[in-house]
Amino acid sequence: MSDMKDTMLIRSEGISKTILHGGTGDIPKLITGTKVTFHFRTQLCDDERTVIDDSRMVGTPMEIVIGNMFKLDIWETLLASMRIGEVAEFWCDTIHTGVYPLVSKSMRRIAEGKDPVEWQVHTCGMANMFAYHSLGYDDLDELMKEPKPLYFVLDLLKVQQPSEYNRESWALNDEERLKVVPVLHGQGNKLFKQGRYQEATQKYKEALICIKNVQTKEKAWDVPWLKLEKMANTLTLNYCQCLLRMEEYYEVIEHTTDIINQHPGVVKAYYLRGKAHKEVWNEAEARQDFTKVLDLDPSMKKAVKKELAVLSMRMEEKNQEDKNKYKGMF
């Protein structure tokens, strides 16, 4: 078996492969929709071979669906050269590793139980990712500033053809994804009406991931992109309505502000942001948002009047409370 240790070059430039443990059978065919399950370890090419990420430490293997625009498409190339049960080390040059920090960030957030959707909701495609100053992890920020060649040690566990597994929404192609959106949207609305806000947010988020995945392939601000953006904004605002009921006011302010910065004419965004400001006693901001709602849509007069009356009452109560609090102090 010693010849297995020899380094081979894969068809792509800037990759070399060393088999550490031979696999069995033929090399599986990876077609669009094939689900591949594998463990991975990512290491720097320094003397210590510093480990950046290791799925075994997290305890769950990685799953990707071929042809599904997984952000690190080089992994598809590497996996396509492997047999089941094979463990191989790949050296990949910088041209293949530039986006790794972004992928790593989302994988880490999943592992930490945080929602990877967050950066998909907040950013328009990859372009904005590069504008952000920090990914929230020092080692990834380093790599982002100065991309380096990396070692990927992959251990291929399982390959399932499209007919052999239940395809979840992230495993759909674009056309299927967009068909799923109104279904998820409807389910979310139904759950919202039943007062099951937490479950409704999951449906809205799933629909948002579908839209954002398709949207990253469109040219920003072109007609198809804008259509998707409109759908995404509607879902985000429904999501914010759930958050209001769940008393997550600061998150509502954050999401609605994102929408307003990009699209200053969305009435509902100002209305929901005004409501959130009202709940956290930001009087001036709330009044400003409600005034903007009236500017954009005078037919909202009745609703806004009601909100402003509640705001005045709120502020009155708070002032009274503060007075009582301080009265006892002097």
pLDDT tens readout for residues 188-239:
999 999 999 998 998 898 888 888 888 888 888 899 999 999 999 999 999 9
pLDDT recorded at residue 132: 47
pLDDT recorded at residue 171: 56
Residues listed for the chain: 330
- CA 249 remoteness from chain centre: 21
Confidence of residue 10 (pLDDT cuts 50, 70, 90): low
Nearest CA-CA partner of 94 in 158, 136, 143 = 143
Residue 273 predicted with pLDDT over 90:
yes
Mean pLDDT is lowest, of 51-60, 103-112, 274-283, for: 103-112
pTM above the 0.75 mark? no
pLDDT recorded at residue 3: 40
Q: Measured between alpha carbons, how far is 153 from 88 in angstroms, rounded to an integer? A: 6
C-alpha distances in Å from residue 150, one per residue of 27, 52, 100, 190: 24, 10, 9, 47
Residue 287 near residue 323, CB atoms below 8 Å: no
Alpha-carbon dihedral angle through residues 104, 107, 109, 114, given to the nearest 10 degrees = 160
Burial 160-182 (b: 16+ CB within 10 A, else e): beeeebeeebebbeeeebbebbe
CATH 3.40.50.300 fits 2-98+147-164, yes or no: no
Question: What's the mean pLDDT in 7-32?
Answer: 83
- What residue spans define the domains of the chain? 2-98+147-164, 169-296
Residue 79 near residue 17, CB atoms below 8 Å: no
Residue 201 near residue 232, CB atoms below 8 Å: no
CATH superfamily, domain 169-296, is Tetratricopeptide repeat domain (1.25.40.10)
Q: Measured between alpha carbons, how far is 55 from 79 in angstroms, rounded to an integer? A: 16
What mean pLDDT is reported for the chain?
85
